[in-house]
Each structure stands twice: as C-alpha cells, then as structure tokens.
Amino acid sequence: MKTSSYEIFAAVAELSSFQKAAQRLNVTPSAVSHAITQLESRLGLSLIIRNRSEMALTQDAQALLPIVERLLNEERQILNLADHLRGLRGGKITIGAFSSVCINWLPSIIRDFSQEYPDVEIAIVQASFAEIQRDVRLGKIDIGFTTLPVTDALAVFSLIKDEIQCVTQEDFTPLNGHSISKQDLIDQHFILQKSDYDQDTKAALDYYNVHLNAINFSIDDQSIIALVEAGLGLGILPKLALKKLSGNVRVYPFEKSYYRELGLIINHSQLAVPAVAAMKKTILNNINPQ
C-alpha cells in the first residue's frame, strides 16, 4: 500500500521536519511537502506553519491529529488481520514429535486445528528428541515436541511434568505393595528405548542402582510391554507413553518420584507466522486447557 497523505501528516506532526518524515517513510522531502499541500487543498485548511527556523501545527491540524492517528491505527489493524487470515488460507505446517505424543496428543490437536483452519496442510515428522531440536533450529520443522531443557536458542513452552514409571509382570508385587523401592530392583534387568535413556530416566535408574550393564534396549514402547510380559525384565516408561499401550503387565510408581519435562519448541523466526501461532495456541489449549 502506498504511503498515504494522512501517514505523512502524522509523521511530520511527530517529527516537526519534512526531512525527518521523508527519511522515516522512505520518500523524498519534496514528496512530503507535496502530500501536505494536497491534503491542505482537499480539506480546505492550513495544517503546517512554515518558516525558516521552525515548523509547527496549526490549531486546526492539532484538532485533526488524534482522528488521523486513530484512522492510521485502524488501518494497521486491518492489514494485520488480513495478513493473519491470508496466512491461514493454505500453506503447510510441519510438526516434529516422538511416539507417545503422536499417539496420545496429536490426533485431537490436528482434529481441532483442521476444523478451524481446513486449508492448512499438516505434516508430521516422528523423530528423536535430538533430531527434533536440530530440525527446529534449522527451520526444517515449524513446531517440535521434546524434553526440556534444550540447549539451542529456541522459543520454549513448558507443557507437562511426565512421571517415569515401572512396568512389571502381572504377578509382580512390590515389597511395600504400592511402589517400587531399591529392594525390589536388586538383580533386576530393565528394558527401555535407547532414546529414553536421557538425563531424567538415567537419574532415576542411577538412584535405584540400576547400571548400564543391567539394561536392554528395545525398539519401541509396545515392544517393551511385550518383553516385560514375557518375563525378560522390568520396563521403564513415562506415564504418557503408557496411556494407550496394552498387555498383561502392571504399572507402579517409583518410591522416589522422577519426571521428565515435556515442552514445545519453535524457532524464534517462526513465532509470528500465522499458521505457527495458531497451531501453538491449539496445542496449548489441548494439553493445558484453561
């Protein structure tokens, strides 16, 4: 949109200089002077007092200025809304997520987003925490789910504290009847995904004196359940991952609780993109509804 005479008038009024107004608006001083002259002619009023030493608004201009500023603000709101609406009519957004998020959260998130913005295409990339963080940083993924904290300079939004729990055979009962203690884990082997052996899970296993040589790594969460069910060891899985898994097993909390923190990460350059902002809002509303 071309610079309007009202915008030029407001700039001159604020800066008291044709030269400074021209610099701000990226036009020539003669264009500023011409626009003011045209506006004065159209309104039939004198707006600027000009002399060698100063430039000032006339009383009529001072009366008009608040209305002009309000008009310009409303025009900015119209343009911002148009940008927002245009950005949500078409285009594509890529979400990076790990297995338990794909299974438990994304179906309702994508359903709600697609109902409101049906023209935006959504792509899902399932990857490890490290891969998601890397690809968000590189701009390959628009929004990513990961564990916190992250070392990259990204916008971070905390989601939940996800409790780490123990999966046992159906006939296993802890010594205290309700939670896993150090005594329960003597000479036990654990089965978990290699990607889950991060700082939070490792801290829990270290506390319970479970060493690396007592850990077997599995392919995915459901495989862990199957191996535990077969009596090949105890599983360790976050609570979110256990929501939709099935098998003849039991799940117990640890006597000393440990959690992983899940969060949403976005490249700072993407925060103002309408589709990304709308998806972020949908995700936060789904996971932490007000």
User: Does residue 166 surpass a pLDDT of 60?
Assistant: yes
Q: How far is 71 from 77, CA to CA, in rounded Å?
A: 10
Output the pLDDT for position 3.
60
User: Does residue 1 surpass a pLDDT of 50?
Assistant: no
Q: How far is 283 from 157, CA to CA, in rounded Å?
A: 11
**Strand 259-266 relative to strand 155-169, pairing:** antiparallel
Buried b (16+ CB within 10 A) or exposed e, 112-150: ebeeebeebebeeeebbbebbbbbbbeeebbbbbbbbeb
Average pLDDT value over all residues in the chain: 89
Q: Could you tell me what percent of the chain has a pLDDT over 90?
A: 58
User: Does residue 218 surpass a pLDDT of 90?
Assistant: no
User: Does residue 9 surpass a pLDDT of 60?
Assistant: yes
Cβ proximity of 112 and 282 under 8 Å: yes
Task: Give 87's pLDDT tier (boundaries 50, 70, 90).
Answer: confident
Task: Locate 66 and state its tokens.
Answer: 């608040």
Task: Give 253's pLDDT tier (boundaries 50, 70, 90).
Answer: very high
User: Does residue 137 surpass a pLDDT of 70?
Assistant: yes
Output the pLDDT for position 290.
58
Q: Which residue has the tokens 């392919």?
A: 219
User: Does residue 200 surpass a pLDDT of 80?
Assistant: no
Output the pLDDT for position 244.
86
State the angle between helix axes of 59-87 and 5-15 in degrees (0 to 180), rounded to the nearest 10. 120
User: Does residue 287 surpass a pLDDT of 70?
Assistant: yes
